[in-house]
Structure 1
Amino acid sequence: MTLEHLPWHRPAAYDDRPCVRDERTELTYRTFAERVDAAAEHFAAQGVRRGSVVAVMLPNRVELLVAIMAAWRLGAAATPVNPTFTATEAEHQIRDSGAVLVIDGDSVADLPTTPTGTLPPAETRSGDLALLVYTSGSTGRPKGVMLDHGNVDAMIAGMGEAIGVGADDHCLLVLPLFHVNAICVSWLTPMSAGAQLSVLQRFHPVAFLQAIERLRPSYFSAVPTIYSHLVALSAEVIPDTSSVRFAICGAAPAPPELFAAVEERFGFPLVEGYGLSEGTCASTCNPVDGLRKPGTVGPALPGQLVAIMSPDGTLVPHGERGEVVVKGANVMRGYLNRPEATAETLGDGWLHTGDVGILDEDGYLRIVDRIKDMIIRGGENIYPKEIENVLHSSPDVLEAAVVGSPDPVYGEVVVAFVSARPGHAVDVDALIAHCRGELTKIKVPVALHVLDALPKNPVGKIDKPALRARLAGA
């Protein structure tokens, strides 16, 4: 384990190299390290110690990176919180994680920028908890994925080798930094190589292309929705993207036609990868230099084993479908305070992804279905149970079911079906307003249908396939 992404382990030769910038700030590796030490001193004065957790609830900006790294400087962990969360959503993560300090838009102004030199030497260990990344599950309550520094280091090493990141690279970060994808692929991987990073706070198609022309990045990572917006721009928009040697697409399935359209219009290869937070981001990726197979998410990253498992727990040969399972040093240590969920996901020594896939004779993975009911909207994972819990909290609702409806831009959007309690009537507008008060905007149903009764399967469970079919027919 090298941990070369940590400022206190970086080679001295990096000192004056450009490290990270956003719209307001530009730092070298030396000045970034100074900012980290200064923030760590501030955190220590606020009671942060080895083993503590710091919640970082900021939009994409340099201070977010500084805050995460400052927690690590003290041997603490960071839990990145979506800054668009409602108070209910944020409170759950902050309380569940046991965070002793929250860095948000109000407190970030208090972060000092010049260290006083009072910190003892850093003692970062492979087994120290680094990140608590929250992801929802079948219970509907987000769970804390525990990633230690060994997990993060393995992810950086495998991804860096797979995509060939070096000191001359420059990543343009556009994905939200509460996602492990942005943290590992766009930030820590180039940082471990002495490369540079430019951080965008939000995505807008024209502004994004202007940033490429101005900043001249060599790569970036995004989700299918972003690429859909880019190829949908008027033919009159002809940006200079010659600096980009490749781009990565992940977080949601994308049709091969989208990859072809991106490469034809912008002139750089687009490689698709696959993974999940429990695997510290990615487990497969089509190669930047080598055979790329449209319709697949590529072979296993270096250091990982990806296999297909049948329901009886045996591994199946190439060409047969089953659940995608993963092994490697990147696999999480477990879910925070969720031993049963941890055992269900990791109990046999494999990370069970809940996705159905097929490996071809070359080891390239094709995702063919999802075991779970997860909805992927523009690369954001949305779990229906969380939304159903909010719908069920209405005294007028008897039953509720949430499914994904196909959408040409976002891939899927959230649609809800409810039935009313006897003697009650469902006010659709009021119920949607209730959802807006409890849920992030992307989780609020775009449509809500009131049925006399929700369809059931033979064992009495709500028949979600029938609801999806109903939407497809409509």
Structure 2
Amino acid sequence: MSIDSIFSKTANRLNSKVALKWKDRDYTFGELDSLSTRFAKALSALGVGKGERVCIFMQNSPEFAIAHFGILKCGGVTVPLNVMYRKHELRHMINDSGAAAVVTSEANLQFVQEVMKDLKTVKAIIVTSERAPEGIRPFYKILEGFDDTPIPSMNAEEDLAVICYTSGTTGLSKGAMLTHRNFLSNIGTLASIWELNEGDKVLMALPMFHIHGLGIVIHGMAYCGYTVLLHERFDAAKVLEDIRRERCTVFMGVPTMYIKLLEEKSTSHDVSSVRLWTVGSAPMPVEAFNKFKEKFGVEILERYGMTETAPVITSNPYRGLRKPGSVGPPIPGVEIAILDDDGRTLPPGEVGEIAVRGPNVMKGYWNRPVETEEAFSGGWFHTGDLGKLDEDGYLTIVGRKKEMIIASGFKVFPREVEEVIHQYPKVKEVAVVGIPDPVRGENVKAFVVLKDGENATVEEIEEHCRRNLAAFKVPRIFEFVEAIPRTASGKALNRMLAKVKVKDLMEKSVKSIDRRTSAYEAAKYMKDANVGSLIVTDGEVPIGIVTLRDILYKVISIGSLGKDVSLSSIMSTPLVTVDAEEDIAKAAAIMRQWGVWRLPVKNGNGQLVGVLSGTDIFRAFAGRKMEVPTSF
């Protein structure tokens, strides 16, 4: 069987059932099947043949699904492209895949046009707008003249269905070759263990270009026959409202989505219809897992996967024990092993590289025989991730063997960012690392050495990056340094550079308040200013720090509303500060020594420039090891 034949079979059975709900329009399975068949015939007429690649470069939309199934029906291979990609990435991926056509949205057409002259194999560019510039074909216009008479499937199980680009060791993305069998084995297993069925209604705010959205949600729609409520992008308030209004039963997301759902102020949202919440693509902080359970009364189901495995490898059980911080045992039919550097299997509790084998594992990397051989060894696919198994066979991810950065669920390879920054004429050297972040998982940080006699601002280098890189790859933090620490062989010592400093995690909004202010007024001020702590001053001199937690606990304990309680009596003293350039581990040790949870941060001139919270340290380092000095 193939993905397209499964989809057509489902459409025949559920012809009039709604497959996609999109804004104010419903698309039935029959309509999607008909449109994708006509699109397949149009692609064939444009010269797209069996096994040829077609790139899809657009936001979530019904046209994405129509194009994907149409590409498969004409015997082609879908190449989904992240909508945040720009010239550097687009040029490489379209040419590397040897794409015969590109399907894009009106919003993204401009970026395709910027690289058109450099594209070597593209026969047609198709845009989903009604009108198109000369040489560009409108999506629905090319369907005219083609009927929806079914096309016999041209695909065997082992034929390629999708080439999905992921970051590689050269710094340029490499394409994971995924077959129809890879996807069908995975979604078939997930449908069984998660009990997905045609009665479900899945809210889809994941990007369709991502393996998580395409491989699970969209292929799940084709396999199970459920309805997908499609959002163009994630918006926490809209997600909660649509869950309530549409009575959705399944939501699949990444950790940053769940953190933003937790941040929603309203408590009136009814999510009782949702029977399954899943999370993947990045580690889920245990604290967020527990807070979500506390707020919504449900346990998120954590799972682990990657692009190369179409995508799920392990999953906590739908019915059974879910372990916070663990991504569960391997799914049926998939095997995992924890290997040491010599390829020997390690016992439970020991950390090593996660290796996988099963019907979901890719064929290899497109036109990359060396990288493919490196990834497959001893009959296993080596993930590059580090993990450990417990006695019950549950997997815990503890880090990454490679230098990959995962920011908000997206993979960023440092060398690619470094190469772009190196192109800036004032830059002499650059090193890019990932540093922990409490919300995004990791932030991209660039250490930059300027050429002798040159001056540059963060803003101009950041603007250069934004012109050439997807937004998630642009460093959030830049630091100008005199030199990059290197080994004798010239390799950058990224471990030294990746040490997190206080300034990287501190809250930069510093508010102060006079010690004579009542606790009641201070609490009101914190709420209005949206801060969790205040520096207490005597005139202009900082003398202590007070948090909203201090006010709530200490004032309530004495049976007062706080109007008659001054901050002097409840603030934390002495005022222990930390330098902005200090290592975060040292700051954690200071907190432990003095028994405080927040530290005012000073710059080199002694000015207060921020506040560091123990909560942010905890969130940023959840699941990571941090050596905290016992003396200093």
Using the alignment, how far apart are the partners of 1:119 and 1:96 within structure 2?
32
- Give the conservation status (yes or no) of the 8 Å contact 1:171–1:217: yes
Q: 1:31 to 1:11 in 2, by over 3 A?
A: closer
- State the partner residue of 2:172: 141
TM-fit CA distance, 1:150: 1.0
1-structure distance, mates of 2:436, 2:215? 30
Q: CA deviation at 1:190?
A: 3.4
Please list every run of 5 or more consecutive structure 1 residues that lacks an aligned counterpart in the other structure: none
The answer to whether the Cα contact below 8 Å between 2:282 and 2:406 also exists between their aligned partners in 1 is yes
Which position in structure 1 is the counterpart of 2:533? none
Mean Cα displacement is larger for which, 31-40 or 112-121? 112-121
Q: Which residue of 1 aligns with 2:298?
A: 268
CA distance in 2 between counterparts of 1:4 and 1:156 reads 14
CA shift for structure 1 position 176: 0.7
SS in 2 for 1:296: coil
Deviates more, 1:1-10 or 1:278-287: 1-10
The 10-residue stretch of structure 1 (298-307 or 39-48) with the greater mean CA deviation from structure 2: 39-48
Alignment-derived partner of residue 437 in structure 2? 407
Paired amino acid for 1:231? L
User: What's the CA shift for 1:120?
Assistant: 4.2
Query: C-alpha distance in 2, partners of 1:20/1:411?
Result: 31
Larger-Rg structure: 2
Cα deviation for residue 213 of structure 1 reads: 1.4
Query: What corresponds to 1:178 in structure 2?
Result: 209
CA contact (8 A) 1:223 1:251 kept: yes
Find the partner of 1:195 among 212, 215, 226: 226
Please tell me whether residue 444 in structure 1 is matched to residue 464 in structure 2: no
TM-score (norm 2): 0.72
Are 2:97 and 1:97 aligned? yes
Aligned-partner Cα distance in 2 for 1:198–1:18: 10
State the AA in 2 paired with 1:391.
I
Q: Which consecutive residues of structure 2, in runs of 5 or more, have no partner in the other structure?
A: 107-126, 130-137, 503-582, 585-632
Give yes or no for the alignment of 1:417 onto 2:437: no
Contact 1:41 1:119 in 2 (8 A): no
Residue 2 of structure 1, CA deviation? 6.8
What CA distance in whole angstroms lies between the structure 2 residues aligned with 1:117 and 1:199? 24
DSSP-derived class of the 2:429 partner: strand
Number of residue pairs matched?
Answer: 473
CA-to-aligned-CA distance 1:26-71 (integer Å, 9 cap, x gap): 1221111111111112212211111111111110011101101000
Worse-matched range after superposition: 402-411 or 241-250: 402-411
TM-score by length of 1: 0.95
Q: What residue in structure 1 maps to residue 199 of structure 2? A: 168
Deviates more, 1:414-423 or 1:317-326: 414-423
SS of the residue 2:428 aligns to: strand
Q: What's 1:51 paired with?
A: 51
More divergent stretch after superposition (331-340 vs 462-471) = 462-471
1:335 aligns with 2:365: yes
Equivalent residues of 1:159, 1:302 under 8 A apart = no
What is the CA distance between 1:253 and its match in structure 2? 0.9
Pair 1:111 & 2:139 matched: yes
Q: Deviations over 1:282-321 (max 9, x none)?
A: 1011112111011111010111001101111111122221
Q: CA deviation at 1:149?
A: 0.5
Deviations 1:148-199 (A, max 9, x none): 1111111111222221111211111111111111012212123311211111
Task: Give 1:24 shift.
Answer: 4.6
Structural mapping, 1:228-267, within 5 Å: 228-234=259-265, 236-267=266-297
Q: Does 1:310 align with 2:330?
A: no
CA spacing shift, 1:24–1:386, aligned 2, 3 Å: farther
1:214 aligns with 2:245: yes
The C-alpha deviation readout for 1:341-383, integer Å capped at 9, x for no partner, is 1111114321111111101111100111211111111111111
Q: Is residue 133–residue 145 contact of structure 1 (8 Å, CA) maintained in 2? A: yes
Query: Which is worse superposed, 126-135 or 41-50?
Result: 41-50
1:324 aligned to which of 332, 338, 354: 354
Q: Distance in 1 between matches of 2:168 and 2:4?
A: 33
Whether the aligned pair in 2 keeps the contact of 1:4 and 1:192 (CA below 8 Å) is: no
Instruction: Provide the secondary structure at the position in 2 that maps to 1:150.
Output: helix
Quick check: 1:417–1:454 contact (8 Å CA) kept in 2?
A: yes
Query: Residue 422 of structure 1: CA displacement?
Result: 3.8
Task: Among all aligned residue pairs of Structure 1 and Structure 2, give the percentage whose two residues are the same amino acid.
Answer: 36
Residue 131 of structure 1, CA deviation: 0.4
Question: Higher relative contact order at CA 8 Å, sep ≥6: structure 1 or structure 2?
Answer: 1
Change in 2 beyond 3 A, CA 1:454/1:268? same
Question: Contact conserved, 1:245 with 1:269, CA < 8 A, in 2?
Answer: no
Amino acid at match of 1:80: P
Which residue identity lines up with residue 89 of structure 2 in the other structure? E
For residues 88 and 458 of structure 1, the distance between their equivalents in structure 2, rounded to whole angstroms, comes to: 32
Greater mean deviation of Cα atoms: 358-367 or 400-409: 400-409
